[in-house]
Amino acid sequence: MKAVERLEDFYHRFNNDNALPGKFNVYKIEDFQKTTPLPHYRRDFYKISLLTKGEGLISYADKSYKINQPILTYSNPLIPYSWEPLTKDEEGYFCLFKEDFMDHMLRAESLSQSPLFKIDGEHVLFPDDQMVSFVKNVFEKMISELLSPYQNKYQLLRSYVQILIHEGLKIKPVDKNFQTGHSSERISHLFSALLEQQFPIVSPHHPIKLKSPGQMASQLAVHPNHLNRAVRETTGKTTSELIAARIIKEAKALLIYSDWDITAIGYCLGFNYSSNFNIYFKKNTGENPTDFRRKSVAYS
């Protein structure tokens, strides 16, 4: 798995520690960065970008696009991406936000399920001149609004973000611009990203939703057997083995470092009954959760 870059780290890397407060920011590319490469990381925030000038190579998961025309990109915390500039001058805009910035109406259908943001969706689009002009205008309005004293400006900014999303949905993907890697590697990479996205667990009241190969395959829109073959081919392990290993790793961390009771830990890991969690934990570790916690505390 690639590293995850936090929003704070992103700002710091570009010497932009004076970012405006709040869960939303918008910039002109030429004011924020100077043709700086973006390494192939996942980020913990959403990003919508319009590049109007510049050339480079942009990669999402295993898809790589040679860019020499305006593009709209939609980035999310699930998919790693990178940018390698090939020219010295870049122009355009981008906005950054966390999912909880959006209001409850949009979050009711998670951004991660949008065709522009979902794990197997299209993240790089090629707008025509008319749309480029329109989207530029939206970004200019966002910049102006963010700096305004208007009391309800964030509500208006949410509306502008939704406009950008809807404009992207109007664009038909152009598949001829990308080159895909080996299909098994792509599926395995997306499986790993989807699994890892559920961790670490920060609340006992929000259980993980994907803990079986069938659930993972359904989320990735592939048959479970196809998913398992791809994962085994690239990792040497089955999907069940990798899921179990990650759940047990999280279970051990919670048993050692949290004060949650066994029932709460089992629940947040997807087990409705503590007895099922006890059986699962013992099957994969050789001891029950209570004994593991007691020994860990004694050794610490």
Domains in the chain with CATH codes: 4-179 (2.60.120.280), 183-299 (1.10.10.60)
- Mean pLDDT value across the chain: 84
Whole-number pLDDT of residue 110: 57
Q: Is the pLDDT of residue 300 over 70?
A: no
Q: SS3 string of 161-214?
A: HHHHHHHHHCCCCCHHHEECCCHHHHHHHHHHHHHHCCCCCCCCCCCCCCCCHH
pLDDT tens digit string along 207-247?
A: 998 899 998 888 777 789 989 998 998 889 999 999 999 99
pLDDT in tens, 166-194: 999 888 665 444 444 446 777 887 888 78
Q: What is the pLDDT of residues 7-23, one digit of tens each?
A: 888 877 776 554 555 67
